Amino acid sequence: MQQPNRLKPFFENIHFEREDNTMMVNFGPQHPSAHGQLRLILELQGEEVVKSRPMIGYLHRGMEKMAENMMYNEFLPTTDRMDYIAATSNNYGYALAIEKLLGVEAPRRAEIIRTMLLELNRIVSHLFWLATHALDVGAMSMFLYCFREREYAMDLIEDYCGARLTHSAVRIGGVPLDLPSNWIEDCASFLEILEKELHTYEGLLTENRIWKMRLENVGVITPSMAKSWGCSGIVLRGSGIKWDLRKEMPYGIYSELDFDVPISDTCDSYGRYKICIAEIRESGKILKQLVPMYEESDTQLMAHAPNYISAPKEQIMTQNYSLMQHFVLVTQGMRPPVGEVYVATESPKGELGYFVVSDGSPYTYRMKLRTPSFQHTALLEELLVGCQLADVVTIIGNLNIVFGEIDR
């Protein structure tokens, strides 16, 4: 008999000793391969998984609740903490949703800088994924190599906004700063290094016998399964469905950019690995295209919408009315139009959606955060059934789940 009131592990009605031949295994929530606080209750028949129950909630901070108690600008830094591997994509999705609600459009230069940060973040996120995934599978050296290049990309972002992980570098209505001098050159040299190192990664992994044996035909997601479970991003493209929101439903300046959407028909983990490498290349390609666009653009960085967005700093410090408006916006917050908006962007993990209900007050009436990893974790309920225990870690790592955005 369990005594839940004492300092003892308490298992909610799980019978570990069973009459039939299966065995229950508790995986997580503190397992290093769980990529955060994922708890899995696995029922095993020998080495084979018969049933899996993912459990989440160990990193729940109640962001939707917080959003209802914060002004629109106040909430922006909180979005960093959702997918903390690629914070800019969260900031951007949020800023874009609120801009849509306000009917404001960010100036062109701001949009270009945002896209640069987004793609840089995509590279960071994919490198991080490759590093930790390879580490899970057993390739320790990949972890070191990928983290080295990730560090360079983080340096670039640090140069721009001063933060490395949770950079609220995107604001509602634009970006606060222009690129520092020399940033473009640094970025170009980073892309050169990255291109060279990508060959190293591929040389180490793509034809590696162990890597292929661990990944091929592991975690097969059929197209109908991917659609039904609401998968997005690499998981959807890995199932042979060519769907990238940047291409199919473009936002920002993505319609002007030239890039490919890599897909894979194998539906397995190995295919998703190949897509990831290809996507890093595509992001590099986008970054190179953005440089001439940046140089041609006008210097305005924040949208002009005095009812909602504070004036530039110089104007606040020199003109009384701008200062008053700034004061009201900071203390009372902006009051957007009454209505609802759902804006989805392609984050490195998949479709990141913000559903915002505004009742015209400075606080959101309801905010629902649609995060890709949430649905990908739900998928584990079906995906893990029938696979070997050793493949569980491969599959979890391969789905690229981040717990900050699952529990929110």
Partner 1 sequence: MRKYTPKDSVQKQAYFTDRFFVSPPVPRFNPNSDEIFAKDFEEINYSINVQEAFIEHTHLVIIIDKSFLISCIKLLKEKLEYDMLMELSAIDYLATRDGYEIFYEFLSLSKHKRIRIKCFLQKDESLESVTSLFKSANWSEREMYDMLGVKVVNHPNLKRLIMPDDWYDHPLKKTYPLQGDEAASWYEVDKIFGKEARSIIGPEQRDPAAIDRYDTTRFARLGHEVPFDTDISEFEPETNISYQEENTSKIMKKLKPEESVVLKRRR
**Four-residue CA torsion sign, 403, 167, 194, 148:** negative
Select from 370, 396, 401, 403 the one that contacts partner 1 (CB under 8 A): 370
Indicate whether 344 belongs to the interface with partner 1 (CB under 8 A).
Answer: yes
Nearest CA to 252 among 345, 120, 175? Answer: 345
| Least distance from partner 1 to the Cβ atom of residue 364, Å | 10
For 163, 282, 352, 374, 407, the CA distances from 347, given in Å and listed in that order, are 19, 14, 6, 13, 17
Select from 213, 382, 386, 390 the one that contacts partner 1 (CB under 8 A): 382
Beta-bridge partners for 24: 43
How far apart CA 3 and CA 291 sit, in angstroms, is 64
Kindly identify the residues of this chain, within the stretch 270-329, that bind partner 1 according to CB under 8 A.
none
| Least distance from partner 1 to the Cβ atom of residue 407, Å | 6
Select from 48, 64, 105, 197 the one that contacts partner 1 (CB under 8 A): 64
Say which residues have a Cβ less than 8 Å from residue 302's Cβ, sequence separation at least 6. Answer: 106, 107, 110, 171, 173, 174, 175, 176, 309, 310, 312
How many other β-carbons are positioned within 10 Å of the β-carbon of residue 79?
A: 27
Which tokens go with 379?
A: 């998928």
Window contacting partner 1 (CB under 8 A); options: 7-15, 199-207, 211-219, 290-298: 7-15
How far apart CA 292 and CA 211 sit, in angstroms, is 39
Say which residues have a Cβ less than 8 Å from residue 402's Cβ, sequence separation at least 6. Answer: 35, 36, 83, 84, 85, 349, 373
Nearer to partner 1, 214 or 348 (CB): 348
| Least distance from partner 1 to the Cβ atom of residue 214, Å | 27
Indicate whether 176 belongs to the interface with partner 1 (CB under 8 A).
Answer: no
| Least distance from partner 1 to the Cβ atom of residue 248, Å | 6
C-alpha radius of gyration, the chain, whole number: 23
Indicate whether 378 belongs to the interface with partner 1 (CB under 8 A).
Answer: yes
Nearer to partner 1, 6 or 209 (CB): 6
The DSSP string of 307-335 is: TTSPPPHHHHHH-HHHHHHHHHHHHT---
Select from 357, 385, 388, 389 the one that contacts partner 1 (CB under 8 A): 357
Find out whether 396 and 380 touch, Cβ atoms under 8 Å. Answer: yes
Kindly identify the residues of this chain, within the stretch 91-110, that bind partner 1 according to CB under 8 A.
100-101
* Strand ranges (E), 130-269: none
Find out whether 102 and 338 touch, Cβ atoms under 8 Å. Answer: no
| Least distance from partner 1 to the Cβ atom of residue 102, Å | 10
Select from 368, 385, 388, 389 the one that contacts partner 1 (CB under 8 A): 368
How far apart CA 155 and CA 340 sit, in angstroms, is 38
Indicate whether 335 belongs to the interface with partner 1 (CB under 8 A).
Answer: yes
Find out whether 382 and 49 touch, Cβ atoms under 8 Å. Answer: no
Q: What is the contact mask toward partner 1 in residues 70 to 89, using x (rule: CB under 8 A)?
A: x-------------------
Select from 72, 201, 308, 374 the one that contacts partner 1 (CB under 8 A): 374
Select from 113, 341, 384, 387 the one that contacts partner 1 (CB under 8 A): 341
Q: What is the contact mask toward partner 1 in residues 110 to 149, using x (rule: CB under 8 A)?
A: ----------------------------------------
| Least distance from partner 1 to the Cβ atom of residue 9, Å | 11
How far apart CA 130 and CA 85 sit, in angstroms, is 12
Which tokens go with 237?
A: 């493209």
Select from 222, 288, 332, 390 the one that contacts partner 1 (CB under 8 A): 332
Kindly identify the residues of this chain, within the stretch 187-226, that bind partner 1 according to CB under 8 A.
225
Indicate whether 337 belongs to the interface with partner 1 (CB under 8 A).
Answer: yes
Nearer to partner 1, 93 or 215 (CB): 93
**Residues engaged in binding partner 1 (CB under 8 A):** 4-7, 10, 12, 56-57, 60, 62, 64-66, 68-70, 100-101, 155, 225, 227-230, 232, 241, 243, 248-249, 332-333, 335-344, 351, 353, 355, 357-363, 365-366, 368, 370, 374-375, 377-378, 381-382, 407
